[in-house]
Amino acid sequence: MLENGESPKIKWFAYILILLALVLIGFVVGAFGSISFPLNYGVNYFWTGIVIQQVGSIWFGAWGVIAGVIFPFFSNAVTSTPLLVSLAYIPANFIQAYLPAMAFRKYKIDPELGSGLDYVYLFLAMLVSNFLGALWSVVVVLKGFGLLGDESMLRYIFGWFGGNMVAGIIFNFIILKTLSRNTYISRFYVKKWWS
């Protein structure tokens, strides 16, 4: 909703700036704030990029989801992940960003995590989205491209899922609880999907 005297063009320009900022922050934390497997292909034991995917999409709706799909291309490039593998990760990155945002909107979860149920919903949204992202990325992408054998699949599924969950548990709860109020005050919180 626009404030008195606020132009719709300025509001959309601000959302595009938020998208670009999320992509830049996601690239930095995704590429340089992670602990990876020796054979990487974008799989990490601890991937801080999940915070940008999930908190960004909870606060900024579709803008955060789009950023959550785009920035892994750049952070994967730093780890020398082949372009086709990065492209094949799109469904996983989409799921990891979209499902928490969808859950918050559908179940009207308070981003400030005002009740115990809000914490439970966030945890469940993270659990499901990270598990589905891990399955797609390891079983469909890495196995499908012949980059992993059957003997490594469970380790990589656990690495992807566990790395996202641990980083999310450490940071998502704290950031949402402490900074959501500031996001509301800034008037850039996206209640629906686009504004």
pLDDT by residue (tens digit) across 45-102? 778 899 999 999 999 999 999 999 999 999 888 877 889 999 999 999 999 999 999 9
Q: Which two tokens stand for residue 19?
A: 């998208």
Q: What local confidence, expressed as pLDDT, does residue 152 receive?
A: 83
CATH architecture of 8-185: Orthogonal Bundle (1.10)
Gyration radius of the chain's alpha carbons: 17
Task: Give the CA count within 13 Å in the CB-facing half-sphere of 47.
Answer: 36
User: Exposed e or buried b for every residue in 99-135, given b needs 16+ CB within 10 A?
Assistant: bbbbbbbeeebebebeeeebeebbeebbbebbbbbbb
| Domain extents in the chain | 8-185
Q: What local confidence, expressed as pLDDT, does residue 147 receive?
A: 87
Phi first, then psi: give them for residue 89, nearest 5 degrees. Answer: -75, -10
pLDDT by residue (tens digit) across 38-61? 555 556 677 889 999 999 999 999
User: pTM for this structure?
Assistant: 0.88
